[in-house]
Amino acid sequence: MSDPVIQIRGLSVAYGNQLAVRDVSVDIPARQITAIIGPSGCGKTTLLRSMSRLIELVEGVRVWGQVLFHGQNIYDPRVDVTEIRKRIGLLAQRPFTLPMSIYENVAYGPHLHGLRKRKALDAIVEKELRAAGLWDEVKDRLHAPASALSVGQQQRLCLARGLAVEPEVLLCDEVTSALDPISGQRIEARLLELKTDYTIVLVTHVLRQARRLADYVIFMYMGELIEHGPANQVFHDPQEAKTRAYLKGEFY
Amino acid sequence: MGKHLEERFFLALMIASLAIVTGSLVFILTTVVVKGLPALNLAMVTQVPKGGYYLGKEGGILNAITGSLALAGGATLLSLALSLPVVLYLQLFARDSRFVYLVRLSLDVLWGIPSIVYGAFGFTLLLFLGLRASLLGGIMALAFLELPILVRAMEEVMIMVPFELKEASYALGATRLETALRVVVRQTLPGLLTALLLAFGRGIGDAASVLFTAGYTDRLPTSLLRPVASLPLAVFFQLGTPVPEVRERAYASALILTVIILVISLGTRLLARRFTRHVVR
């Protein structure tokens, strides 16, 4: 197993008095796809959003424990949260394009972080739209509103937008569940390509998707981490009774 | 049979109230147009009154038109400058929901305060600052009058911004201020324009709050520190005279005021439609 990029240590997250993630410790391997699986409400999304402190946007949330990113605890008050979120990107379930043109959507992040040179921005926009597999469809209408794209195209635009700030880690939250099958396949193909350069953490409740994509698997149940390991091992030789039951489809 | 009758009865009631609502609008507009239109001529909108606005038979209401535009325009800008930070704070920074609730409650109370109270308050403020009735004083009183409208209307629009849209911006490493200015304001631009219009309309139509604070004059507005005329007060002062020519100026003022509000309302709608190009739904 390659060196972990993110190490989670004793992480618990509560909404008000409701504990959503309970004392989770796990390592996320670099340049692989890690799938977090488990039934609805098991804390998958909470765990995912804890990894870039996006969870803090939720009112009344409390976090205990540590998330180490290259050895540094991102919950340390001295850490610049915007820097963390720049290096650990998010692709959300439903694509939300920003209220601007296709071009500006991709350029938004780099521009935000100080890049003003038109040529450099042009280059980034083309590079990331190509990486997201959208360039050929939009190269003639870069300045059209992003909201005019189809949902599948919007999700790829969101991918390009996320890649444009050059993150190391990409957090993917059920990124195909709002898409039609063809668009979903396209996103999956992109993720498989991207894992050579990025560390990808994927939340999914589609087991087949996890089987198709994952190199490493984390199984959560009722806010607790039940089992984690290389995909082959978890899928073919699960150690825990709950994992076996879930993989057999005894509960969702 | 009974049900059928009941339905017809309430349908008739609904039609009656619809007729009252639209009927009164038509009635008011007709009165304003019928009385105002004959009074309207080139001199009316290009000249200031001659021989005093209260008695002079010659001249027009250019003093009131320009004065009102300056007052309401200035007040809306000042009010916007005060309220945008409040709105962004309430929407993006405020953590304590009880504090937010109190702020909203105070604004709603302010909204309900009669405008003569704003006028009296503005007058006291002017005395305190050592100023007299002037364009600046009127702008300040009207800005206070418009503030709660502007804040609450803009806030209503911003509440509608989906959480995921803000999250998308934060996830790219944007700060709250960057997210507010680059994403939230852009997303809500049509609504913000409508809020501005609402506030401007309230400001330009208000007589009581400018009565003490802006005063009245025959001259055009040239200085922030001198009194200005306004259309609502032009109606108020000139309608009560025995001189028919002066009363005509009052009717013309009422017509012009109505037309200004109509034009701005339609114009903002057109503008807002252009700005919806990028809005994410």
Provide the shortest C-alpha distance from residue B73 to chain A (in Å).
28
The predicted-structure confidence for A24-72, as pLDDT tens digits, reads as follows 999 999 999 999 999 988 999 999 999 999 999 888 899 999 999 999 9
Residues B90 and B32 in one domain: no
Question: In this structure, what are the phi and psi dihedrals at residue A166, rounded to the nearest 5 degrees?
Answer: 55, 60
Task: Tell me how far apart the alpha carbons of residues A120 and A42 are, in angstroms, rounded to a whole number.
Answer: 43
For tokens 């309970």, what's the residue?
A: A22
* Exposed / middle / buried, residue A65 (Cβ in 10 Å: 0-12, 13-18, 19+): middle
Provide the shortest C-alpha distance from residue A82 to chain B (in Å).
4
Instruction: Give the per-residue pLDDT at B279.
Output: 72
Residues B136 and B24 in one domain: no
The mean of the pLDDT values for chain A is 93
Task: Locate A79 and state its tokens.
Answer: 């850490």
Which residues of chain B are modeled with pLDDT < 50? none
Task: Tell me how far apart the alpha carbons of residues A88 and A5 are, in angstroms, rounded to a whole number.
Answer: 10
| Cβ <8 Å between A162 and B172 | yes
Confidence tier at A80 by pLDDT (50, 70, 90): very high
Residue A187 reports pLDDT greater than 80 = yes
Residues B259 and B190 in one domain: yes
> Do the Cβ atoms of B165 and B171 come closer than 8 Å?
no
Task: Tell me how far apart the alpha carbons of residues A12 and A237 are, in angstroms, rounded to a whole number.
Answer: 28
Instruction: Give the per-residue pLDDT at A156.
Output: 95
> Do the Cβ atoms of A151 and A178 come closer than 8 Å?
yes
Instruction: Give the per-residue pLDDT at A2.
Output: 60
Q: Which long-range contacts (CB under 8 A, 24 or more apart) does A136-140 make?
A: A138/A102
Instruction: Give the per-residue pLDDT at B262.
Output: 87
Residues B30 and B97 in one domain: no
Looking at the 3D structure of chain B, how many domains does it have? 2
The predicted-structure confidence for A208-223, as pLDDT tens digits, reads as follows 999 999 999 999 999 9
Amino acid B247 reads R
Residues B91 and B13 in one domain: no
Residues B142 and B127 in one domain: yes
Residue A1 reports pLDDT greater than 60 = no
Domain range for residue B18? 2-39
Task: Tell me how far apart the alpha carbons of residues A44 and A252 are, in angstroms, rounded to a whole number.
Answer: 13
Instruction: Give the per-residue pLDDT at B53.
Output: 81
Residues B28 and B110 in one domain: no
> pTM of this prediction?
0.83
Task: Tell me how far apart the alpha carbons of residues A33 and B213 are, in angstroms, rounded to a whole number.
Answer: 68
* Exposed / middle / buried, residue A144 (Cβ in 10 Å: 0-12, 13-18, 19+): middle
Which residue, A175, A213, A163, is CA-closest to A192? Answer: A213
Query: Which residue in B172, B280, B281 is closest to A108 by CB distance?
Result: B172
Instruction: Give the per-residue pLDDT at B56.
Output: 83
Residues B224 and B181 in one domain: yes
Residues B90 and B15 in one domain: no
Residues B63 and B200 in one domain: yes
Alpha carbon distance, N-terminus to C-terminus of chain B: 46
* Four-CA torsion B80, B85, B91, B94, nearest 10 degrees: -150
Instruction: Give the per-residue pLDDT at A108.
Output: 96
Q: Does A82 touch chain B (CB under 8 A)?
A: yes
Instruction: Give the per-residue pLDDT at B106.
Output: 94
Residues B11 and B76 in one domain: no
Residues B33 and B78 in one domain: no
| Cβ <8 Å between B278 and A86 | no
CATH number at residue B55: 1.10.3720.10
Would residue A68 be called left, alpha or beta, if left means φ above 0 and alpha means ψ between -120 and 50 degrees? beta
Q: Report how far apart, in Å, the C-alpha atoms of A73 and of each of A11, A51, A54, B66, B247 are.
A: 11, 10, 15, 62, 77
| Cβ <8 Å between A89 and B166 | no
Provide the shortest C-alpha distance from residue A20 to chain B (in Å).
20
User: How much of chain A, in percent, has pLDDT values that exceed 70?
Assistant: 99
| Cβ <8 Å between A113 and B173 | yes
Instruction: Give the per-residue pLDDT at B281.
Output: 64
Task: Locate B152 and state its tokens.
Answer: 């609450």
> Do the Cβ atoms of A153 and A34 come closer than 8 Å?
no
What is the complex's ipTM, to 2 decimals? 0.92
Instruction: Give the per-residue pLDDT at A3.
Output: 77
